[in-house]
C-alpha cells in the first residue's frame, strides 16, 4: 500500500479525469439523442408507436385418469380495436353497431377495457362467433383499426357433470389485477375450482406481436427489429378423476334430487369423482356469464352455485356413530362384545326426558358390533355418556372433524365442530348447558356437528385403511398423498369395525336393500333432520358413506341427499351403484392391460 | 457518551439529499400512469426507506473508522452467509410466479431484502481491510490472491443467482480499489486482458492489434515468466476459442446463455424496451414534456419505469436540462468522494471511500448508458433514484461511512455540532 501524499494526489487526478470524462461522454450522448435527433423521436412518440398485440396462449388441458379431457381448448375469435382516444372508440363502436350486433354491456365494457390499458388493443368481443367474423371481414376496409385474432377458448366437454370441481375461466378483475403479479388487463384467469387452484400451472405464456401503427392507430405493418414472442401453451394437468364415473353419477341424479357426492381411492387419496346437484354448466361462464343465466341460478331455491360436496355442511347423523365407536375403543371405555347397561326399548331416559331410538320397537340388548349394524341410538347414547363430553369432543377433533381436508379446491369450507370443552359451549350457550345431554346428542352425530361430504369421505377412507388418513387430492401430482395415522387399535378391533360396517349392507343391516351380488360392501347410513318441512313432514339429509370391497377397499363413496323425504337406506342404493360401476370398470381395464 | 464534535461533510450531505429528493420525485412521477401499475404507490414505500436510510446513516456515522475496520470481517462473513441462504430453495425467492425476480431473501413468503446490495458494501470494506494491510502495492498476480479471493466468493455466489449486473459492479469495485491501492496500471490491464480478448475476438483484425499491444505490455512490465505465459495463453484461448464456440451454438442457445446470465432481461423483448426508452428520452428535447406529463410513461410504454429505467422518465419529462442536472449532481457527489478518499486519515478509510465511489460510478455508467442503448441491458438500479429498499438503505449507509471517514480526515470542511 503506497499512500505517499504525492501518489494519492496523482491517482486522485486520474480518477477525476475518468469520472469527468465519462459523465461528459454520457451528457453528449443525451445531447445527441434529445437535442439533435429530437424531431425524429418526437415524431415517433406522437404518432408512430409500436403497439403490442397480445397473442393468448392455450391453457393446459385437464385430463382424467384415463386420458379423457375434462377441460380442453377450442379455437375462438376475439375482435379488438386500436382506438386513439375514448371519443374515437365510441364513434367506431357506434359505427360497428350498424354492421354487427353489440349489446350495451359489450359497449360499456369495451370503454372500461380501454381506460384500463391503452397500450394494448381494446377487446370488443372476447368470443365472437364465426358469423360475426365473416361479416367483419367483409367490412374490413371500413374499420382499419380492427384486429381479428384467433384466441383459444376454454371448453368443458362433460359440461354439467364436472361443474363441481373444474371451475371456469374469465377476464381478470381489477381486484385480481392488484393481487396477482404478472397479469395484464383483459387476460383470462381461473376463477373457481381446479382452474383457480392450478392457475399458475395451467396458465400458458402469452405471446406478443409488435405492430407499428400510424398516427391514427391504423396498423401500418410489422416493425422489423423486433422479434415477436410466440405464445407457449401450458403443460397438461393430470387428475385422479374418473370421468366415466363422474358422468355416471351425474346421470343418477337427474334433475330433481339435490345433494353432493365424493368418491375417493382410500389407498392413494385420489379423488375419483366429486359432484354437486343441481349441477352448473360452467361452459356458459367461460369469458363471462350472461345475466339471464346467472339470475336463473341465483333464483333457484336449491342453490346450484353452492357446492354440496365441499361447501355444504350437514349434521352427519348415524354415519358419525363409527367415530363414537372408535373414540370409545381408543379410550378403552367399550369393547366389541360389550353390552350397555340398559337394553334398547325404543327410547332411553336421561335428564328427565326420553331420547328416542329410530326403531320404535327397540333393538333389545346389543353388543357394539350389532349396534353399528343396526344403528341403535340407545346404545350410542349410553356410550356417549360413558365417554363424557370432553373425551368425545377431543376424540372427534383427533379424527379430523374440526379442520378442512386440504383438498386442492379453493372452495372447501371448514366443517363445524367444537374445538374445546367447555369454552366452545360457554360461548354458544351463554345461558347454561349440561354436559350429559350434549354428549348424548353428539354421540349419534347430531347437535354441534356439521360435516362436509368430502370430510366424511376422508374419514371413511381412513376407516377403510385401518386408521391411515390421506389428504384428498384431485390433481395427480404424486401417486399418493401423504398419510397420517388417525388412530391405532388392535388388529382384532380393526377387523371388527370393518365387519360391522359390512354387516350394515347385508341381510339384517340398515342398508340391506343395497346389497349387490358378488360384491362385499361396507358402510353406514345416516338420516339427519333438516329442520325444513314439506307437506307437514320434516325433510331429511339422507347420508350414506361406505367402501368396497369390504376386505380390500378400492373406493370410498360419501353421499348426502339434501332435503329429501326418504332415509339413508335409499342413498345407500345409489352409493352401491356408483361403487359397482367403478369396480366393474376397474376390473375391465385390468383385463385389457393383461391382454 | 455525550455529544461529540464531528465534522460533517456538508457538501457531501447536500449532494446525497438533493439526489434522493430528485429520485423520490421521479419515483412518484413514474407511478402517475393512465393504468394502475405496481409503481402507483411505490413512492410511499420509497419515502419510508429514505427516512430509514438517513437514520441508519446517522447511526453509522457515530462509529469510528477503526470500529468499521474491525467490523469488516464479521460484516463480510455475514453477507456471504446471506448470499448462500438466498441460493437455498425456499429461502431465496425466484421459483413460482415471480421467476423474473431473483436474489431475494424470503422467509415465510415475505421478501426481506436483496443481500447482494449489502454484499457490495461488505466487499468494499473487506477489500479495503485486506489491501490496507499490504505494505507496498502488489506487483504480481500471485500477490493479489487475497483481494481476488475476497471478490471471487461473492462474485460466484451472485453469478449462481444469477445476476450479471451486480457482478459487473464487483468487477468495477475490484479494479478501482486495486488502482487506488497503487497497483500499476499495466498489471491491471494484464489482469483484465483475457476479458478484453473475449470481446475483441469477434473481429480478428482488432483482436490482432490488441494482441500486439498486449505483447508489448508484457515485455515492458516484465511480469514473472510464468505469469506472462499464463496471461498470453489466456488471451489466446478467450480470443480464438470464445468466438468459435459462440458461432457454433444456435441462436436459441445464445439466447439461453444470455438469459442465464441475466434472467431479468428477455433477449427477445429487450429490443422493445430500449426503443421505448430511447423514444421517451429523445422526445424530451431541451425542457422535457413536463413533470408528471411524459406520454410514453403515462401510457406505460416504458418498461420498469420506476426501477431500472427511471432515468428514461427523467429524460422524457425534464429534458436535457433535467438530465444534465441529475448527471451534474452525480458528478458533484463523485468529486466530493474522491476528495474524501484523498484526505482520509489512513489507507483503510481512503480505500473504503474510493471503493464506494467505484460502486456508485459503475451503477450510474451502466444504468444511464443502458437507457440510451450504450450499455447492455442488465437489471442494475440507479443510486438514490431507482425504487428499492435494500439499495436505498445501502446507499445511505455508505453516506454514513463517508461522513465518518471525511470527519476523521484532514482538511476542515464545514463544522457542525452533531
Chain B residues in contact with A118 (beta carbon < 8 A): 34-35, 299
Among candidate residues A431, A446, A331, the one with its CA nearest the CA of residue A388: A331
Q: Please judge whether A1 and B347 are an interchain contact, meaning their C-beta atoms are less than 8 angstroms apart.
A: yes
| Best residue of B35, B40, B369 to probe chain A, by most A CBs closer than 10 Å | B35
Rounded to the nearest angstrom, the gap between the alpha carbon of residue B306 and the centroid of all alpha carbons in its chain is 18
- A450 and A492 assigned to the same domain: yes
Selecting from B96, B281, B323 the residue whose C-beta is nearest the C-beta of A200 gives B96
Please return the burial class of B99, using the count of CB atoms within 10 Å of its CB with bins 0-12, 13-18 and 19+.
Answer: exposed
Greater model confidence, A434 or A48 = A434
Helix runs in A174-285, H state only: 174-179, 193-197, 199-202, 243-253
By C-alpha distance, the chain B residue nearest A225 is B271
Q: Is the residue at A31 inside a domain?
A: no
Q: Is the residue at A32 inside a domain?
A: no
Residue A355: CB atoms within 10 Å: 17
3-class secondary-structure state, position B6: strand
3-class secondary-structure state, position B110: strand
Domain boundary, last residue among A175, A204, A238: A238
pLDDT digits (tens, 9 = 90+) for A307-347: 999 999 999 989 999 999 999 999 998 888 888 888 899 88
Residues 6+ apart with CB under 8 A from A214: A47, A48, A220
Selecting from A33, A45, A118 the residue whose C-beta is nearest the C-beta of B372 gives A33
The Cα A229–Cα A53 span in angstroms is 10
- A356 and A377 assigned to the same domain: yes
What pLDDT shows up at residue A414?
94
Q: Which three cell numbers stand for residue A576?
A: 352401491
Q: Is the residue at A362 inside a domain?
A: yes
What pLDDT shows up at residue A221?
58
3-class secondary-structure state, position A526: strand
- A273 and A357 assigned to the same domain: yes
Helix runs in B201-309, H state only: 204-221, 225-236, 242-248, 251-261, 270-282, 295-298
The Cα B219–Cα B216 span in angstroms is 5
Minimal CA separation from B138 to chain A, in Å: 8
CB-based contact (8 Å) between A41 and chain B? Answer: yes
For residue A10, give Cα distances in angstroms to A13, A17, A438, B338. Answer: 5, 11, 92, 12
Greater model confidence, B345 or A417 = A417
The residue with cell 343391516 is A509
By C-alpha distance, the chain B residue nearest A7 is B182
Selecting from A27, A117, A227 the residue whose C-beta is nearest the C-beta of B35 gives A117
Among candidate residues A481, A445, A468, A458, the one with its CA nearest the CA of residue A547: A458
- A588 and A465 assigned to the same domain: yes
Selecting from B134, B327, B372 the residue whose C-beta is nearest the C-beta of A1 gives B134
Chain A residues in contact with B282 (beta carbon < 8 A): 33-34, 37-38, 40-42, 44-45
Minimal CA separation from A53 to chain B, in Å: 13
- A87 and A160 assigned to the same domain: yes
Residues 6+ apart with CB under 8 A from B132: A1, B69, B181, B346, B347, B348, B351
| Best residue of B144, B282, B319 to probe chain A, by most A CBs closer than 10 Å | B282
**In the Cβ-directed half-sphere of B21, how many Cα atoms lie within 13 Å?**
8
Domain boundary, last residue among A210, A238, A266: A238
Among candidate residues A504, A502, A519, the one with its CA nearest the CA of residue A578: A519
The Cα B63–Cα B1 span in angstroms is 12
- A188 and A282 assigned to the same domain: no
Burial track A507-542 (b if 16+ CB lie within 10 A, e otherwise): eebbbeebbeeeeebbbbbbbbebeeeeeeeebbbb
ipTM: 0.89
- A373 and A506 assigned to the same domain: yes
Minimal CA separation from B279 to chain A, in Å: 5
Greater model confidence, A454 or B213 = A454
pLDDT of residue A540 exceeding 80: yes
Give me chain A's average pLDDT, please: 85
The Cα A388–Cα A392 span in angstroms is 6
Q: Phi first, then psi: give them for residue A353, nearest 5 degrees.
A: -150, 155
- A229 and A267 assigned to the same domain: no
The Cα B387–Cα B394 span in angstroms is 13
The Cα B344–Cα B346 span in angstroms is 6
Q: Which three cell numbers stand for residue B20?
A: 434522493
Q: Please judge whether A3 and B350 are an interchain contact, meaning their C-beta atoms are less than 8 angstroms apart.
A: yes
pLDDT digits (tens, 9 = 90+) for A486-503: 988 888 888 888 888 888
| Phi-psi label, residue A449: left if phi above 0, alpha if psi -120 to 50, beta otherwise | beta
**In the Cβ-directed half-sphere of A320, how many Cα atoms lie within 13 Å?**
35
What pLDDT shows up at residue B34?
65
CB-based contact (8 Å) between A17 and chain B? Answer: no
Looking at residues A190-198, what average pLDDT do you find? Answer: 93
Domain boundary, last residue among A238, A268, A302: A238
Say if residues A231 and A571 touch (Cβ distance below 8 Å): no
Looking at residues A359-368, what average pLDDT do you find? Answer: 88
A 48-77 residues with CB below 8 A of B?
49-50, 52
Chain B residues in contact with A37 (beta carbon < 8 A): 282
Task: Measure the CA angle with vertex A6, ends A4 and A11; round to 5°.
Answer: 95
The Cα B51–Cα A429 span in angstroms is 52
Looking at residues A252-269, what average pLDDT do you find? Answer: 90
Q: Is the residue at A44 inside a domain?
A: no
Q: Is the residue at A5 inside a domain?
A: no
Residue A186 belongs to domain with CATH number: 3.90.1310.10
Q: Is the residue at A297 inside a domain?
A: yes
Residue A515 banded pLDDT, cuts 50, 70, 90: low
The residue with cell 339384517 is A508
CB-based contact (8 Å) between A27 and chain B? Answer: yes
A 106-145 residues with CB below 8 A of B?
115-119
Q: Supply the DSSP string of A71-93, one letter for each residue.
A: EEEEEEEEEEE--SSHHHHHHHH
Say if residues B274 and A226 touch (Cβ distance below 8 Å): no
- A509 and A578 assigned to the same domain: yes
pTM over 0.80: no
Q: Supply the DSSP string of A124-164, one letter for each residue.
A: EEEEE-HHHHHHHHHTGGG-TTEEEEEEEEEE-TTGGGGHH
Q: Give the domain range for residue A139.
A: 50-238
pLDDT digits (tens, 9 = 90+) for A30-88: 999 999 988 888 877 765 466 778 888 889 999 999 999 999 998 888 888 887 778 88
What is the full per-residue pLDDT of chain B (418 aa) written as tens digits?
Answer: 334 556 788 999 999 999 999 999 999 998 887 666 677 888 999 999 999 999 999 999 999 999 999 999 999 999 999 998 888 776 665 433 333 345 777 766 667 778 888 999 999 999 999 999 887 888 888 888 999 999 999 999 988 777 778 888 999 999 999 999 989 888 888 888 888 888 787 778 888 888 888 888 888 887 788 888 888 888 888 888 878 877 777 666 666 566 555 555 554 456 667 777 888 899 899 998 889 888 777 766 676 788 888 999 999 999 999 999 999 999 999 999 999 999 998 899 999 999 999 999 999 999 999 888 888 777 789 999 999 889 999 999 999 999 999 988 876 444 443 3
Q: Please judge whether B180 and A200 are an interchain contact, meaning their C-beta atoms are less than 8 angstroms apart.
A: no
**In the Cβ-directed half-sphere of B263, how many Cα atoms lie within 13 Å?**
14
The Cα B175–Cα B367 span in angstroms is 19
Minimal CA separation from A545 to chain B, in Å: 38
Looking at residues A477-490, what average pLDDT do you find? Answer: 84
As for how many domains chain B has, the answer is: 1
The Cα A547–Cα A521 span in angstroms is 6
Minimal CA separation from B342 to chain A, in Å: 6
The Cα A559–Cα A165 span in angstroms is 16
Chain B residues in contact with A208 (beta carbon < 8 A): 269
Which contiguous run of DSSP H or E holds residue B416? strand B416-417
Chain B residues in contact with A115 (beta carbon < 8 A): 34
- A203 and A104 assigned to the same domain: yes
Looking at residues A181-196, what average pLDDT do you find? Answer: 86
Minimal CA separation from A8 to chain B, in Å: 6
Q: Is the residue at A24 inside a domain?
A: no
As for how many domains chain A has, the answer is: 2
Rounded to the nearest angstrom, the gap between the alpha carbon of residue A525 and the centroid of all alpha carbons in its chain is 26
Chain B residues in contact with A44 (beta carbon < 8 A): 279, 282-283
Residues 6+ apart with CB under 8 A from B365: A22, A26, B375
The residue with cell 500500500 is A1
Q: Please judge whether A41 and B296 are an interchain contact, meaning their C-beta atoms are less than 8 angstroms apart.
A: no
The Cα A465–Cα A480 span in angstroms is 14
- A562 and A575 assigned to the same domain: yes
Q: Please judge whether B279 and A19 are an interchain contact, meaning their C-beta atoms are less than 8 angstroms apart.
A: no
Chain A residues in contact with B326 (beta carbon < 8 A): none
Say if residues A15 and B182 touch (Cβ distance below 8 Å): no
The Cα B289–Cα B310 span in angstroms is 15
Q: Which three cell numbers stand for residue B415?
A: 463544522
- A254 and A220 assigned to the same domain: no
| Best residue of B146, B276, B279 to probe chain A, by most A CBs closer than 10 Å | B279
Q: Please judge whether B299 and A29 are an interchain contact, meaning their C-beta atoms are less than 8 angstroms apart.
A: no
Minimal CA separation from A61 to chain B, in Å: 20
Among candidate residues B85, B56, B69, the one with its CA nearest the CA of residue B390: B56
Q: Give the domain range for residue B389.
A: 5-417
Amino acid at each position: 500500500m503506497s499512500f505517499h501524499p504525492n501518489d494519492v494526489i496523482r491517482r486522485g487526478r486520474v480518477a477525476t479525469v475518468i469520472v469527468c470524462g465519462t459523465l461528459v461522454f454520457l451528457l453528449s450522448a443525451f445531447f445527441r439523442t434529445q437535442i439533435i435527433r429530437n424531431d425524429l423521436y418526437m415524431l415517433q412518440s406522437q404518432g408512430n408507436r409500436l403497439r403490442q398485440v397480445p397473442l393468448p396462449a392455450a391453457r393446459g388441458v385437464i385430463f382424467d385418469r384415463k386420458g379423457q379431457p375434462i377441460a380442453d381448448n377450442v379455437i375462438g375469435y376475439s375482435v379488438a380495436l386500436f382506438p386513439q382516444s375514448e371519443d374515437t372508440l365510441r364513434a367506431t363502436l357506434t359505427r360497428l353497431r350498424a354492421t354487427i350486433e353489440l349489446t350495451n354491456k359489450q359497449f360499456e365494457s369495451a370503454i372500461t377495457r380501454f381506460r384500463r390499458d391503452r397500450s394494448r388493443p381494446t377487446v370488443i368481443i372476447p368470443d365472437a362467433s364465426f358469423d360475426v367474423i365473416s361479416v367483419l371481414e367483409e367490412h374490413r376496409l371500413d374499420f382499419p383499426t380492427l384486429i381479428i385474432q384467433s384466441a383459444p377458448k376454454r371448453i368443458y366437454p362433460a359440461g354439467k357433470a364436472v361443474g363441481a370441481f373444474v371451475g371456469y375461466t374469465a377476464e381478470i378483475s381489477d381486484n385480481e389485477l392488484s393481487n396477482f403479479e404478472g397479469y395484464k388487463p383483459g387476460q383470462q384467469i381461473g376463477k373457481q375450482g381446479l382452474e383457480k387452484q392450478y392457475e399458475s400451472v395451467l396458465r400458458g405464456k402469452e405471446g406478443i406481436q409488435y405492430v407499428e401503427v400510424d398516427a391514427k392507430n391504423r396498423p401500418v405493418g410489422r416493425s422489423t427489429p423486433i422479434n415477436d414472442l410466440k405464445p407457449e401453451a401450458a403443460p397438461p394437468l393430470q387428475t385422479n378423476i374418473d370421468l366415466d364415473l363422474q358422468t355416471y353419477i351425474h346421470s343418477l341424479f337427474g334433475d330433481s334430487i339435490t345433494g353432493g357426492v365424493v368418491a375417493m381411492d382410500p389407498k392413494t387419496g385420489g379423488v375419483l369423482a366429486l359432484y354437486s346437484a343441481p349441477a352448473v354448466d360452467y361452459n356458459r361462464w367461460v369469458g363471462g356469464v350472461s345475466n339471464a343465466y346467472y339470475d336463473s341460478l341465483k333464483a333457484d331455491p336449491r342453490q346450484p352455485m353452492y357446492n354440496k360436496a365441499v361447501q355444504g355442511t350437514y349434521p352427519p347423523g348415524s354415519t358419525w356413530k363409527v367415530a363414537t365407536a372408535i373414540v370409545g375403543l381408543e379410550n378403552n371405555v367399550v369393547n366389541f362384545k360389550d353390552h350397555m347397561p340398559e337394553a334398547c326399548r325404543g327410547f332411553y331416559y336421561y335428564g328427565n326426558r326420553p331420547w328416542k331410538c329410530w326403531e320404535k320397537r327397540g333393538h333389545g340388548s346389543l353388543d357394539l358390533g350389532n349396534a353399528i349394524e343396526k344403528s341403535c341410538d340407545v346404545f350410542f347414547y349410553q356410550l356417549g355418556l360413558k365417554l363424557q363430553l370432553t373425551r368425545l369432543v377431543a376424540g372427534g377433533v383427533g379424527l379430523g372433524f374440526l379442520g378442512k381436508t386440504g383438498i386442492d379446491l379453493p372452495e372447501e369450507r371448514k366443517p363445524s365442530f367444537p374445538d374445546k370443552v367447555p369454552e366452545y359451549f360457554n360461548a354458544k350457550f351463554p345461558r347454561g348447558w349440561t354436559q350429559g345431554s350434549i354428549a348424548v346428542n353428539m354421540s349419534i352425530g347430531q347437535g354441534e356437528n356439521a360435516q362436509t361430504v368430502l370430510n366424511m369421505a376422508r374419514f371413511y377412507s381412513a376407516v377403510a385403511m385401518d386408521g391411515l388418513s390421506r389428504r384428498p387430492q384431485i390433481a395427480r401430482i404424486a401417486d399418493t398423498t401423504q398419510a397420517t395415522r388417525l388412530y391405532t387399535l388392535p388388529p382384532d378391533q380393526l377387523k371388527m369395525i370393518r365387519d360391522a360396517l359390512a354387516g350394515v349392507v347385508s341381510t339384517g343391516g340398515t342398508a340391506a336393500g343395497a346389497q349387490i351380488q358378488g360384491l362385499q360392501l361396507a358402510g353406514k347410513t345416516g338420516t339427519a333432520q333438516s329442520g325444513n318441512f314439506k307437506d307437514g313432514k320434516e325433510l331429511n339429509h339422507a347420508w350414506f358413506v361406505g367402501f368396497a370391497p369390504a376386505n380390500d377397499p378400492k373406493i370410498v363413496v360419501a353421499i348426502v341427499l339434501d332435503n329429501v323425504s326418504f332415509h339413508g337406506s335409499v342413498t345407500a342404493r345409489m352409493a352401491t351403484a356408483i361403487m359397482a360401476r367403478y369396480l366393474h370398470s376397474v376390473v375391465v381395464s385390468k383385463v385389457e392391460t393383461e391382454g | 457518551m455525550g455529544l461529540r464534535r464531528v465534522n460533517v461533510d456538508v457538501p457531501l450531505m447536500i449532494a446525497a439529499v438533493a439526489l434522493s429528493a430528485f429520485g423520490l420525485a421521479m419515483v412518484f412521477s413514474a407511478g402517475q400512469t393512465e393504468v394502475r401499475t405496481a409503481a402507483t404507490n411505490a413512492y410511499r414505500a420509497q419515502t419510508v426507506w429514505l427516512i430509514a436510510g438517513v437514520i441508519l446513516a446517522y447511526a453509522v456515522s457515530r462509529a469510528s473508522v477503526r470500529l468499521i475496520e474491525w467490523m469488516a470481517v464479521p460484516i463480510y462473513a455475514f453477507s456471504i452467509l446471506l448470499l448462500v441462504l438466498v441460493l437455498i430453495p425456499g429461502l431465496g425467492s425466484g421459483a413460482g410466479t415471480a421467476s423474473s425476480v431473483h436474489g431475494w431473501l424470503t422467509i415465510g413468503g415475505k421478501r426481506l431484502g436483496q443481500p447482494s446490495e449489502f454484499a457490495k458494501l461488505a466487499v468494499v470494506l473487506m477489500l479495503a481491510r485486506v489491501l490496507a494491510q499490504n505494505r507496498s502495492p502488489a506487483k504480481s498476480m500471485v500477490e493479489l490472491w487475497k483481494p481476488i479471493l475476497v471478490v471471487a466468493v461473492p462474485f460466484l455466489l451472485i453469478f449462481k443467482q444469477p445476476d450479471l449486473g451486480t457482478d459487473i459492479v464487483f468487477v468495477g469495485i475490484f479494479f478501482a480499489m486495486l488502482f487506488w491501492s497503487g497497483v500499476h496500471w499495466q498489471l491491471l490491464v494484464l489482469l483484465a486482458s483475457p476479458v478484453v480478448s473475449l470481446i475483441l475476438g469477434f473481429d480478428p483484425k482488432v483482436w490482432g492489434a490488441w494482441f500486439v499491444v498486449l505483447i508489448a505490455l508484457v515485455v515492458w512490465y516484465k511480469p514473472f515468466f510464468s505469469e506472462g505465459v499464463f496471461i498470453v495463453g489466456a488471451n489466446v484461448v478467450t480470443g480464438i476459442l470464445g468466438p468459435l464456440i459462440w458461432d457454433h451454438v444456435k441462436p436459441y442457445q445464445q439466447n439461453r446463455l444470455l438469459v442465464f446470465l441475466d434472467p431479468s432481461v428477455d433477449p427477445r423483448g429487450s429490443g422493445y424496451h430500449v426503443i421505448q426508452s430511447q423514444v421517451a428520452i429523445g422526445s424530451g428535447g431541451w425542457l422535457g414534456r413536463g413533470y408528471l406529463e411524459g406520454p410514453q410513461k403515462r401510457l406505460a410504454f416504458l418498461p420498469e419505469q420506476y426501477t431500472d429505467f427511471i432515468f428514461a422518465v427523467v429524460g422524457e419529462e425534464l429534458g436535457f436540462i433535467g438530465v444534465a442536472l441529475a448527471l451534474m449532481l452525480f458528478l458533484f457527489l463523485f468529486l466530493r468522494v474522491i476528495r474524501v478518499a484523498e484526505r482520509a486519515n489512513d489507507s483503510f478509510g481512503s480505500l473504503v471511500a474510493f471503493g464506494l465511489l467505484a460502486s456508485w460510478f459503475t451503477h450510474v455508467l451502466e444504468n444511464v448508458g443502458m437507457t440510451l442503448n450504450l450499455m447492455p441491458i442488465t437489471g442494475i438500479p440507479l443510486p438514490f433514484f431507482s425504487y428499492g429498499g435494500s439499495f436505498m438503505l445501502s446507499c445511505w449507509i455508505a453516506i454514513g461511512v463517508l461522513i465518518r471517514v471525511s470527519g476523521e480526515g484532514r482538511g476542515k470542511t464545514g463544522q457542525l455540532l452533531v
